[in-house]
Amino acid sequence: MKAFDLEQSLQEVTERYEREKQKRRALHNSLVELRGNIRVHCRIRPLLPFDHATGHSISQDRHRNSLENVAYAIDDETVLVKSSRPGHAPINKTFQFERVYNATESQDTVFADVAPLLTSLLDGYNVCIMAYGQTGSGKTYTMLGPQLEENVTFVNEDESELGIIPRATQELFRLISEKPPGSYWVEVSVVEVYNNEVFDLLAKDSCGKVFGIKRDVVTTREGKSDVPSLTYETVANTSEFLHLVIKGLQLRVRHPTLVHAHSSRSHLVVTMTITRTVSGDNFGTSWEDEQINQRLNKEVSCAYPQKRDSKSTSSSRASSPTQLEAAEKLKQVKTRLQLVDLAGSECVGMSGVTGAALRETSFINRSLSALADVLGAIAEQRSHVPYRNSKLTHLLQDSVGGDAKLLVMLCISPSQKYLTESMQSLGFGTRARQVQRGQIKKRNLPTSRTKSTDPPI
């Protein structure tokens, strides 16, 4: 009898394992197929015995009953919100996303679903991963990892707690190490959007000390958003990257509120620009390489049009140092990974902010509603998308409305206390999923010499 039970449980475990494997495969395939649509993963924060968000022990909380769990992951694609408060209409509503993580799911599991996007990045796609949610819902934890008290560092002994940003960097450098040496290089910029101003968190003074400096966001002639004079630092490995990001984070504005003791008061945007050199020598003779070559030549002649009265011959034109340099430059393919930890939406009554913090809250809420407006305009295919209504949306224009593979990590607090905010975030995630942005563009890469060992994303 006992042996039979054992056999049955073994079979059940095997079946469950197979089902999980199939789901993972389906998820991976849908990331491969991610073209145009915005993908939304939803993570439910645990209800911690000690509420890190407020810094209070739950047993001491005056609203103990309001800390009751109301948001659950009922399977790995569905969130259920179920609440029946006296004096309020009962709520029993489900929301579907591409992936839902329950409160016990680890940083490892969350990153496993994100990792295929790094392969996409090296395959020529722009990628943006953005954490959205109410203040204290776990955005910074998900993107960076747990922050150590007053210290902004997120790197501690326990690597299992690291968030998406450090893990994505590790994965990126791992993938690059499989390519021919010197064929890729990585530059980093760290920016915060605070009170509707953009600050360069890697700018240095004359003594080399890092300090935040205000920058503009502009739209280029090609219709792309750009931050002129932004500091980009070249990094060769994960530790160089983390060193820079931690320096930048030390400047990020954080204030305690009643909802979150270490609340981030700004949107953080870490951008990694990956440049692949496509020198003439590396070009193959394939049809695709030929197409790239033709496109590059055309771009060179557009960027440096000849003067009508020029008497120079074609050979002397070709040997002009500026043009040669330009041609070399154009034979680089750049892709961009944008990692965004948004400031949290916040109900002023609940966070108890006043004075400067109230002003910050108002800027945060306005920029987040500008983001929702932009998504609404794209979803309805309106001819005008109001990117310029806020610096946040202007800065993220190319990722949100353009040609990046965009993954929104929706962070939700499970407790009754934050029900209204959670419903708002779930509504935002649902709308984001409905946005159709047309075909995602792939930057042309020469494919002949270096074949990735990973599945094509």
Ligand X SMILES: Nc1ncnc2c1ncn2[C@@H]1O[C@H](COP(=O)(O)OP(=O)(O)OP(=O)(O)O)[C@@H](O)[C@H]1O
Q: Is 54 in the site for ligand X (CB under 6 A)?
A: no
Contacts with 323 (C-beta within 8 Å, 6 or more apart), sequence order: 300, 304, 317
Flag whether 134 is marked binding: yes
Would the annotation count 329 as a binding residue? no
- Where does 93-192 have alpha helices with state H? 107-114, 116-122, 139-143, 164-177
Question: 212 or 344, CB closer to ligand X?
Answer: 344
Rounded to a whole number of angstroms, the minimum distance from the CB of residue 335 to ligand X is 27
Nearest distance from C-beta of residue 136 to ligand X, angstroms: 5
- Give the shortest CB-297-to-ligand X separation in angstroms: 48
For the CB of residue 260, give the shortest distance to ligand X in the complex, in Å: 4
Is position 136 annotated in a ligand binding site? yes
Could you say which of 135, 338, 367, 397 contacts ligand X (CB under 6 A)? 135
Choices 134-142, 184-192, 288-296, 416-424 (CB under 6 A): range interacting with ligand X: 134-142
Does the footprint of ligand X cover residue 376 (CB under 6 A)? Answer: no
Q: Using CB under 6 A, which of the segments 28-36, 132-140, 377-385, 396-404 binds ligand X?
A: 132-140
What single DSSP character describes residue 218?
E
Size, binding site for ligand X by CB under 6 A: 20
> Is the distance from CB of 188 to CB of 202 less than 8 angstroms?
yes
Of 54, 142, 122, 441, residue with least CA distance to 276? 122
Enclosing H/E stretch for 84 = none
Q: Which of 186, 411, 432, 457 binds ligand X (CB under 6 A)?
A: 411
Quote the tokens at residue 407. 């993954």
Nearer to ligand X, 138 or 401 (CB): 138
Signed CA dihedral, 344, 347, 353, 356: sign only: positive
Asked whether position 137 contacts ligand X by CB under 6 A, the answer is yes
- The reply on whether position 166 binds ligand X by CB under 6 A is no
User: DSSP assignment of 228-279, as one string?
Assistant: TT---EEESSHHHHHHHHHHHHTTS-EE--SS-TTEE-SEEEEEEEEEEE--
Token pair 């407790």 is at which residue? 415
Whether 391 has a binding-site annotation, put simply, is no
Instruction: Please give the backbone phi and psi of residue 313, each rounded to the nearest 5 degrees, phi first.
Output: -85, 170
| Site for ligand X contains 343 (CB under 6 A) | yes
**Residue 447 annotated as part of some ligand binding site:** no
- Closest CB 78 distance from ligand X, rounded Å: 19
| Smallest distance, ligand X to C-beta of residue 368, A | 11
Closest CA to 260 of 122, 364, 120: 364
As given in the structure block, the two tokens for residue 108 are: 């490892």
Q: Which amino acid is at 111?
A: F
116 binds ligand X (CB under 6 A): no
Distances (CA, A) of 333 to 104, 231, 380, 440, 443: 40, 20, 32, 16, 7
Residue 54 assigned as binding residue: no
Binding residue (CB under 6 A) for ligand X from 39, 41, 99, 139:
139
Site for ligand X in 215-274 (CB under 6 A): 260, 262-264
Which listed range, 14-22, 130-138, 198-206, 209-217, lies at the site for ligand X (CB under 6 A)? 130-138
Burial of 436 (0-12, 13-18, 19+ CB in 10 A): exposed
Query: Which of 146, 256, 376, 386 is close enough to bind ligand X by CB under 6 A?
Result: 146
Q: Which stretch binds ligand X (CB under 6 A): 70-78, 139-147, 227-235, 385-393?
A: 139-147
CA-to-CA separations, 96 to 213, 341, 410, 423, 436, in angstroms, rounded: 41, 23, 12, 13, 17
Q: Is 46 in the site for ligand X (CB under 6 A)?
A: yes
Residue pointed to by tokens 């990257």: 241
Among 45, 98, 92, smallest CA distance to 76 is for 98
Q: Does 36 bind ligand X (CB under 6 A)?
A: no
- Residue 224's contacts (CB-CB under 8 Å, 6 or more residues apart) are 397, 398, 402
Smallest separation, CB 355 to ligand X (Å) = 18
Distance, CA of 137 to CA of 314 (rounded, Å): 62
- Nearest approach in angstroms of CB 365 to ligand X is 12
Pick the closer one to ligand X by CB: 49 or 90.
49
**Residue 116 or 138: which CB sits closer to ligand X?**
138
* Minimum distance from residue 418 beta carbon to ligand X (Å): 11
Where are the extended beta strands (E) located within 52-165?
Answer: 56-57, 71-75, 78-83, 91-96, 99-101, 126-133
**Candidate residues 95, 125, 141, 199; the one interacting with ligand X per rule CB under 6 A:** 141
List the binding residues for ATP.
133-140
Write out the residues near ligand X by the rule CB under 6 A.
45-46, 52-53, 133, 135-141, 146, 260, 262-264, 343-344, 411
List the binding residues.
133-140
